Structure 1
Amino acid sequence: MKPSLRTAVTAAVTTALVAAGLSTPSPATAAPKAAIVAKYDYTAQVSDVVVHSPSMNRDIPVTVLSPKNKTKPAGVLYLLNGAGGGEDAANWLNKSDVVKFFAKKNVYVVIPMKGAFSYYTDWVRRDPVLGVNKWSTFLGKELPGVINKAYKTNGKNAIAGISSSATSVLNLAIQHKGLYKAVSAYSGCASTSSEMGKAYIKLVVETRGGAKVSNMWGPTNGPGWIKNDPVAHAAGLRGLAVYLSAATGLPGQYDSTRYVPKPAVLADQIILGGGIEAATRICTEDLANKLASLRIPATVDRPATGTHSWRYWQDQLHKSWPQMARKIGA
């Protein structure tokens, strides 16, 4: 289901619930607890739910992929989109085979469809452009309880993300100890307090998002950046099944006209995507080395070629899935 149609249907469902007195759009009377305020089933497998977040006082659309057998308890994979937060066309549903891939697997896949340029973290103050962002609170404390109540889950969770959200999933795993059994980070930059990490985050939040990074974690030379640096807090990943991946940025099998027929788009993927991927490889090695020094096991995949693009991330999801599946009973 395309995002535009899904958004329209979700809005219609929400309006119907409001009319029936089951929900309210008024911030003054918003639900005091996280709860599903709207739901629409597209197929037996794919549903959109709208979850109210008390910490942000707004409703968040979430796509849920259900297992074929809903009578048997299943684990949950929280799958985060990249910088666009699922609000643009560049998301897991549009750019990968997740629906088909998980169709016969015993797992619930939960994909938030909001959070553009937020790094899925708790911001220290409201941003004039992006508003209030308390994504760590929402994803770590509010949403899991709602999902566990609405679906027949087994209490075991994994989390995975790409690019900017590859940093987010590591921080979420560290900050919400015990919530996840496994974490997978594809093409991310975990060393957020390094100069490269800061530059990467500014590119996402300020250049692309139009917001201010100082509203996210405070001054770039302040403690907030170290507090949210997975490399600095890598010890918090002990006990989890950790999967990291990043390629070299050199053109690979998906960087051709066979997969990207438009020359301008292909050139952008090779030049810009290649440069970004090369940078994330350096960041990934920083975290891998830190984990090794702490004697924390991690699976690290280092493809010899590949750019910062979706087909490579789809491959990484497939490759990391068996490790996550074992941890969540899928």
Structure 2
Amino acid sequence: MSQTTLRRKFAAGLTALATAAGLVVGAPALVGAQATEQGSSASLGSAGSAGSAGSGDAPNTAPAFQPAAGNENPVGFRNWLRPGCSWDPVASWVQLCDVWSPAMNRHIKVQVQPARFGGNAGLYLLDGLRARDDWNAWTRDAQAQRIFLQDNITLVMPVGGQVSFYTDWDRPINLGGNLVEYKYETFLTAELPGYLQQHFGVRTDNNAIAGLSMGGSAAATLAARHRDQFKQVSVFSGYMNPTAPGMYTMIPLAMFDQCKCDPFAMWGLPGSPRWGQNDPLLNADKLRDIPMYITAGSAIPGRYDQPSSLQAVFNTFNGIILEGLSRGSTIAFQNTLNARPNQATFDYRTTGIHGWGYWNDDLIAARSAQILPVMNAQAW
């Protein structure tokens, strides 16, 4: 099947799903338009995520965040490099570390900001579907390293893993002519924790996990499957029911649109058991007793959405559709979770589309509402 045909099917899928979600689609032809590399294709990921790389038309640039004034490294826990690490250009004591993954047979880059006072809590921050190979977007399109600068928790931000859903794929994936293993669940839960404990003092059983879009769905799934590792989970604009009608088509097409790879190398063909194993809604029973902070926007453009060009209009339109899909699946997940007692907090924004400005705000809210209290990571 040609890429043009797949793009048209993808556009048709977006339009159909938007209609089902009750969204008013005014310009469906835009979805299939040819777009630039940065902030281009509609996908279950970080819409406009390349804005920090020079795409001024990205509709959702995160606001500057300035933490309270204070000594950023009061007792010297942050000013020395750990093995395999170098100072990251984003500053704020972030280190860029190469961590060996036996499962993937290569080094995986991880951005790490040590806890302010050497605390043993960790916060894993997962990226979106269009994750880059040079940085985690939480440090460029959002302000995670500034948001938690004064806190006693180590930020753990894996780099790379586009379209991965941070899961173990059934078979290798062809990316740009290179056959690579995708075993991100194994890396994040069996390989990386030992490195973090040895070099950053992060306990293997004292972690929170958060993510946006693709990373949000993965955060919920990883928390459900690894309760001995994660004590709190935050999901921002996630897709909480990938086995819902339409998603068997939407997810593979979105993945192919990004990587031009075989999406069924992940969990097999639609309807295969592994799709259900990685569906947060179907795993709701495993999440009832873990604190969760879950958000979704209304798909109505808000404060970060002021498109000034055709490309920006394209990005905004995609963000509207994607956030509508996220909100619908989040409501379905909430209805399932609320069938029995749980510890989840749901925050539905009155405006906001699929974009980094909103996710940055979500992380700020989750920090004070749940992450720091649950992890006992306040720096007093």
The two structures have a TM-score, normalised by structure 2, of: 0.72
Q: CA deviation at 1:89?
A: 7.1
Which of 126, 129, 137 matches 2:172? Answer: 126
Aligned to 1:81: 127
Unaligned ranges ≥5, structure 2: 1-51, 54-81
Amino acid at match of 2:93: Q
Q: Contact 2:92–2:145 at 8 Å: present in 1 too?
A: no
Specify the SS of the correspondent of 2:234: strand
Amino acid at match of 1:328: M
Aligned to 2:364: 318
Aligned to 1:31: none
Aligned to 1:305: 351
Aligned to 1:329: 376
Aligned to 1:61: 109
**Structure 1 residues 243 and 145, CA gap change in structure 2 (3 angstroms):** same
Aligned to 2:228: 178
Hey, what's the Cα distance between the residues in 1 that align with 2:146 and 2:158? 18
Which of 82, 94, 98 matches 2:144? Answer: 98
Which deviates further from its counterpart, 129-138 or 299-308?
129-138
Aligned to 2:195: 146
Q: CA deviation at 1:266?
A: 2.9
Which of 221, 225, 237 matches 1:187? Answer: 237
Which of 263, 273, 278 matches 2:309? Answer: 263
Q: What do you get for the CA RMSD once the two structures are aligned?
A: 2.0
Amino acid at match of 1:49: C
Q: Contact 1:159–1:180 at 8 Å: present in 2 too?
A: yes
Specify the SS of the correspondent of 1:286: helix
Hey, what's the Cα distance between the residues in 2 that align with 1:320 and 1:196? 30
**Structure 1 residues 88 and 251, CA gap change in structure 2 (3 angstroms):** farther
Specify the SS of the correspondent of 1:193: coil
Q: Contact 2:83–2:199 at 8 Å: present in 1 too?
A: no
Specify the SS of the correspondent of 1:87: coil
Amino acid at match of 1:142: E
Specify the SS of the correspondent of 1:284: helix
Hey, what's the Cα distance between the residues in 2 that align with 1:59 and 1:111? 14
Deviations 1:69-103 (A, max 9, x none): 33xx2310000111122326781111112122111
Hey, what's the Cα distance between the residues in 2 that align with 1:82 and 1:204? 12
Hey, what's the Cα distance between the residues in 1 that align with 2:134 and 2:254? 14
The two structures have a TM-score, normalised by structure 1, of: 0.83
Aligned to 2:98: 50
Higher relative contact order (CA 8 A, sep 6+): 2
Hey, what's the Cα distance between the residues in 1 that align with 2:220 and 2:239? 10
Q: Contact 2:95–2:112 at 8 Å: present in 1 too?
A: yes
Amino acid at match of 1:274: I
Amino acid at match of 1:237: L
Specify the SS of the correspondent of 1:233: helix
Q: CA deviation at 1:265?
A: 3.9
Q: Contact 1:79–1:160 at 8 Å: present in 2 too?
A: yes
Specify the SS of the correspondent of 2:188: helix
Deviations 1:228-265 (A, max 9, x none): 111111111132111111111111111125xxxx4234
Q: Contact 1:37–1:52 at 8 Å: present in 2 too?
A: no
**Structure 1 residues 114 and 37, CA gap change in structure 2 (3 angstroms):** farther
Which of 200, 204, 227 matches 2:277? Answer: 227
Specify the SS of the correspondent of 1:278: helix
Which deviates further from its counterpart, 178-187 or 81-90?
81-90
Hey, what's the Cα distance between the residues in 1 that align with 2:183 and 2:192? 12
Specify the SS of the correspondent of 1:161: strand
Hey, what's the Cα distance between the residues in 2 that align with 1:321 and 1:200? 31
Q: Contact 2:86–2:96 at 8 Å: present in 1 too?
A: yes
Specify the SS of the correspondent of 1:51: strand
Aligned to 1:248: 298
**Structure 1 residues 140 and 90, CA gap change in structure 2 (3 angstroms):** closer
Hey, what's the Cα distance between the residues in 2 that align with 1:152 and 1:89? 23
Q: Contact 2:302–2:351 at 8 Å: present in 1 too?
A: yes
